Structure 1
Amino acid sequence: MTLTMTDVPPGDRRMTADIRPLVRVLRPALTDADFDRFAAEAHRQGLVFTATYDPHGHCAGVATHRVLATSRGRVLFVDDLVTDPARRSAGIGAELLRHLTARARAAHCDRVELDSGVTNQAAHRFYHARRMTISALHFALEVGAD
């Protein structure tokens, strides 16, 4: 199957028609309005929304990513990587990861990094099968308004 990778900017109809529904599969607590605010702000911060389309024009997967300069070198950081649940195990996620790896090389990054929830065992198997290693633990501290 031939897949087409397309970067979609906020304001493009594909952002709400294609990207938003798939990101919400991964992040179900995100409302439509929350997604729209997030997409606009994150895009201004350098987040890129890449959609994967099949030959029929169906959006089969999405990756959100950005290049970061860190003390560990340049990194292409993947915020979200999600495949249409009805199309999982069809090679779409693997193709997206290959595309992101090629973009990282082109941007002179040292590596591709991402976080994955500790309970997302299926994703962990997917990443390990693609030779990704667990290189850090991600810690979080909620700082709600006082």
Structure 2
Amino acid sequence: MKIQLCTSEKDILNCWDVLYALRPHLLQNEFVTMIKEMMTEGYQLAFIEEDRKAVAVIGFRYLQYLYNGKHIYIDDLSTLPLVRGKGYGGLLLDYVAAIAKEKGYKIVTLDSGYLRTDAHRLYLNKNFTMVAHHFSKNIK
């Protein structure tokens, strides 16, 4: 199974359906522009295809925090419902972990919605641990 990094607008648009499945609030007419802007901030998007169509994606970036140093943060991980169970999510997590290891980073982090139990099962099976609660505040 080949994992590819998005390097063009065509690649980014190919990932639309998969990311929309995870983030239905996104607007398709703003999607490519948003991803390209995020890429200027270090975001990378990798995908797996079936029949030349992206079916699983992972978005990630390199960060550094005082509490855990340099690490890779996974922003997005999504697989189309019709291909779930084929191991694509696990392959993408392994892909990012291999990049972290190659860079000498000791940790990969992500946040996950508290009701996403299927995703949590995958993360725990891939040796992630739950270490914090994530809080956010809407500013009006």
Distance in 2 separating the partners of 1:57 and 1:143: 41
| Structure 1 residue corresponding to 2:11, chosen from 14, 28, 34 | 14
CA offset at residue 135 of structure 1?
Answer: 1.1
Match of residue 102, structure 1, among 98, 105, 128: 98
For 2:18 and 2:30, the matched residues in 1 are separated by 14
Residue from 56, 61, 66 that aligns with 2:61: 66
* Equivalent-residue separation in structure 1 for 2:131 and 2:88 (angstroms): 25
The CA deviation at 1:107 is 1.8
Displacement of 1:89 in angstroms is: 0.8
- Partners of 2:33 and 2:139 lie apart in 1 by 20
After the TM superposition, which segments of 4 or more aligned residues of structure 1 sit over 6 Å from their partners?
none
Check whether the contact 2:63–2:72 (CA below 8 A) recurs between aligned residues.
yes
Superposed CA RMSD in Å reads: 1.3
Equivalent residue runs for 1:1-146 within 5 Å: 3-9=1-7, 11-16=8-13, 18-54=14-50, 56-71=51-66, 72-144=68-140
Quote the Cα distance in structure 1 between the aligned partners of 2:2 and 2:49: 5
Q: What is the identity, as a one-letter code, of the residue corresponding to 1:4? A: K
Structure 2 portions without partners, runs of 5+: none
Query: Structure 1 counterpart of 2:90, which letter?
Result: A
Distance in 1 between residues matched to 2:131 and 2:34, nearest whole Å: 27
TM-score normalised to structure 1 length: 0.89
Which letter maps to 2:11? R
Tell me how far 1:19 sits from its aligned partner: 1.0
Instruction: Give 1:36 deviation, angstroms.
Output: 2.5
AA of the residue aligned to 1:134: M
Determine the C-alpha separation between the residues in 2 that align with 1:5 and 1:27.
21
